Every structure is written in C-alpha cells, then in structure tokens.
C-alpha cells in the first residue's frame, strides 16, 4: 500500500480508502450478512487500507466498528458523517456525534463530516452547526472536521467552491472521475494551497462498472450535443483506455485516472465483493495511465459536468 498525508490534518492515509456506502454498502445493499460485510472490511485492512469511510445513513457504522476492534485503533483512520437540515441546532450535532460513536463502539472518530451539504444549506452548516462540531473536536471525540458535497444535486460543486475558502473545514469528500473532471481546475489547486484533505467518491459508481448503463449515458450526451455521434460508432466509447499502454479494464482505468490526479489524497472504492476489494486496491496502486490516454480523456470529456452522479439504488438501463 502507499500512504500519504491527508491535507494538513497530520493523518497518514492509504491512497485507497474503503467506502462503506454507495450502492454496495459492503454488500448490505444486496442482503449480505453482517459477518460477510465485516469480512470485506477486514480484507481491505489486511491489504493495507487504513482509511474507512462510513455514515449514519449507510447503516454500516456497527460493521466498521466490529471490524475495527480486531486492529490497533491508532493504525486506522475512521471517517463518518451525518446529514443535518437547516432546522438542526448545535445540540443536534453533539447528539449525532455521540450516536455515531456509540454505533461504532469507539471513543473518537478521525473525521466527522457534515454529509451531503447543499449550496442552500451551506451557511447554516458553517455558522450554526460547525461551531458545535469544533467544540466536540476540542473534547477529543472528533479529530478533524469534514464536509461532503451532495453530488447529484450540486454538479457545479457550489458548496465546495465556498467551503475550500473558509474555516473550519479540514477534509472534504467530492465527486471526481474521468468523465466528471471539474475538480481538476476548480477544487484541487485550492485544496492543495489550503492543505485541505481530499477524499474522492463517484470514481466508478455505475457508469464505469456497468457497460449497458454507460452506453445509455453516452447516448444521452450525444443527444444533448455534449459529445459527437461518432463516439457511438465503434463499440464501447471508452475502449481506447484499455490495451497497450492503457488499463486492464475500464474500472481499472477509472481508479487509476483519479488516483494520479494532482491534489487527490484518497480514492474511495465501494464494494460488497472480496475479489473487487483486491482488484480495486491493485488498480489504485498501478502507475498512471499513459499520457496520451490522459490527454485524450481531458480533450474528449473535460467539458462535461455532473456525468455519472447517480443516486444510490439500481439504475435503469434502456431496453435495446
């Protein structure tokens, strides 16, 4: 495994982080047993993954806590989150942090994030809720303060564009992929300047793990005039990323593209499949894609916004 600093937090994190949410939720999403989900976490940790991301909304905090008990707590970096709305108060923050710690069975979490903060709710989070989270941090129950965007509702990344300029955010979780490259110019230069840690989500999701769905997305982009129709003329429009000097698969390419973008600290991968844990860690540790492929990805898709940011749950694929 490779490790790097998470912004200026002082934490050292694995470049591959296990996402315990998304569609898979460690396998809970398709009915796996708690023991099987714990085994997914342990498989990742045994491969050197030390960053684990969970959330109240995922229903996986107990699983992460159970898996964590087999390891030295200091060797793991555990991040959780909770969703707040604009009627919530400082008291709600304290209560939700305590509830997460209880479910995890831990004395502290390394990062506590405000989860999926919309641009309209941002000021309430910054002015009313964040001071409460900072007080909880002073008590040692939370080591660092984080904020995550609500990608499907904020494809322009308006929440983050503000958050990366302001206190008290130390870590941020954002969507980035080879077809959703906005953060490359808009977010990463500033997070690097400010020393804010970056955790990537939506690196693969459905678009790079489901070929039929990907075809539908490309067809829609052609229909909208975002891509030229010729892109659909010769099999999978992303086939050029695979092969000589390229990747082993489209999923492999998606993880490697994200991992080697300047300013990225942790690439989160979500899965309920042990074999995928291993292949995703392998992908994230492989070298960058060939420069010619990266240039083509930038030239072909650099103008797109919000592609591949589907909500959790099964995606619909057109009958063809």
CB closer to ligand NAP out of 16 and 221? 16
Single out the residue of 251, 258, 265, 304 in contact with ligand NAP (rule: CB under 6 A): 251
Per CB under 6 A, does 191 bind ligand NAP?
no
Q: Are the C-beta atoms of 1 and 16 separated by less than 8 Å?
A: yes
Cβ neighbours for 238, distance < 8 A, ≥ 6 positions apart? 208, 214, 250, 253
Of residues 230-249, which lie at the interface with ligand NAP (CB under 6 A)? none
Distance of alpha carbon 319 from alpha carbon 246, whole angstroms: 31
Distance of alpha carbon 56 from alpha carbon 21, whole angstroms: 10
Per CB under 6 A, does 157 bind ligand NAP?
no
Q: Single out the segment in contact with ligand NAP by CB under 6 A; choices: 66-74, 86-94, 120-128, 272-280.
A: 272-280
Residues 130-149, mask of contacts with ligand NAP (x by CB under 6 A):
------------------x-
Per CB under 6 A, does 272 bind ligand NAP?
yes
Crossing angle between the packed helical segments 61-68 and 90-104, to the nearest 10 degrees: 50
E strands in 36-193: 51-53, 77-82, 109-117, 142-149, 171-175
Single out the residue of 112, 176, 188, 202 in contact with ligand NAP (rule: CB under 6 A): 202
Single out the residue of 6, 15, 16, 20 in contact with ligand NAP (rule: CB under 6 A): 20
C-alpha distances in angstroms, 117 versus 147, 153, 273?
7, 10, 29
User: Quick one: which of 18, 72, 47 has its CA closest to 203?
Assistant: 18
CB closer to ligand NAP out of 229 and 239? 239
Give the shortest CB-123-to-ligand NAP separation in angstroms.
19
Give the shortest CB-37-to-ligand NAP separation in angstroms.
11
Give the shortest CB-51-to-ligand NAP separation in angstroms.
10
Distance of alpha carbon 54 from alpha carbon 8, whole angstroms: 22
Give the shortest CB-294-to-ligand NAP separation in angstroms.
19
Per CB under 6 A, does 204 bind ligand NAP?
yes
Per CB under 6 A, does 205 bind ligand NAP?
yes
Give the shortest CB-135-to-ligand NAP separation in angstroms.
23
Residue nearest to ligand NAP (CB): 22
Cβ neighbours for 104, distance < 8 A, ≥ 6 positions apart? 54, 61, 62, 64, 65, 68, 78, 80
Q: Single out the segment in contact with ligand NAP by CB under 6 A; choices: 87-95, 213-221, 230-238, 262-270.
A: 262-270
The kind and range of the H/E element at 198 are strand 197-201
Token output for 226:
């975002």
Catalog residues that contact ligand NAP under the rule CB under 6 A.
19-24, 53, 115-116, 148, 173, 201-205, 209, 251, 268-273, 276, 279-280
């Amino acid at each position: 495994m490779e490790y790097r600093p998470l912004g200026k937090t002082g934490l050292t994190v694995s470049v591959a982080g296990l996402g315990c949410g998304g569609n898979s939720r460690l396998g809970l999403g398709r009915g796996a047993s708690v023991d099987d989900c714990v085994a997914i976490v342990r498989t990742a940790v045994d491969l050197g993954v030390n960053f684990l991301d969970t959330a109240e909304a995922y229903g996986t905090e107990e699983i992460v806590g159970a898996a964590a008990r087999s390891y030295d707590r200091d060797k793991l970096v555990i991040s959780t989150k909770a969703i707040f709305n604009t009627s919530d108060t400082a008291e709600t923050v304290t209560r939700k942090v305590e509830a997460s710690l209880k479910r995890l069975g831990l004395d502290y979490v390394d990062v506590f994030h405000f989860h999926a903060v919309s641009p309209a709710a941002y000021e309430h989070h910054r002015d009313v809720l964040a001071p409460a989270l900072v007080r909880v941090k002073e008590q040692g129950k939370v080591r660092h303060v984080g904020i995550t965007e609500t990608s499907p509702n904020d494809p322009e990344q308006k929440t983050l564009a503000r958050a990366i300029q302001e206190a008290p955010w130390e870590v941020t979780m954002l969507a980035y992929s080879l077809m959703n490259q906005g953060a490359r110019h808009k977010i990463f230069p500033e997070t690097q300047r400010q020393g804010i840690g970056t955790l990537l989500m939506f690196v693969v999701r459905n678009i790079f793990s489901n070929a039929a769905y990907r075809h539908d997305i490309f067809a829609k982009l052609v229909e909208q005039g975002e891509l030229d129709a010729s892109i659909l003329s010769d099999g999978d429009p992303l086939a050029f990323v695979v092969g000589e000097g390229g990747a082993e698969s489209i999923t492999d390419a998606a993880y490697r593209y994200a991992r080697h973008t300047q300013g990225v600290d942790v690439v989160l991968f979500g899965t309920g499949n042990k074999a995928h844990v291993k292949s995703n860690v392998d992908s994230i540790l492989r070298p960058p894609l060939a420069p010619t492929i990266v240039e083509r990805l930038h030239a072909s898709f650099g103008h797109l916004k919000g592609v591949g940011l589907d909500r959790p749950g099964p995606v619909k694929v057109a009958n063809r």
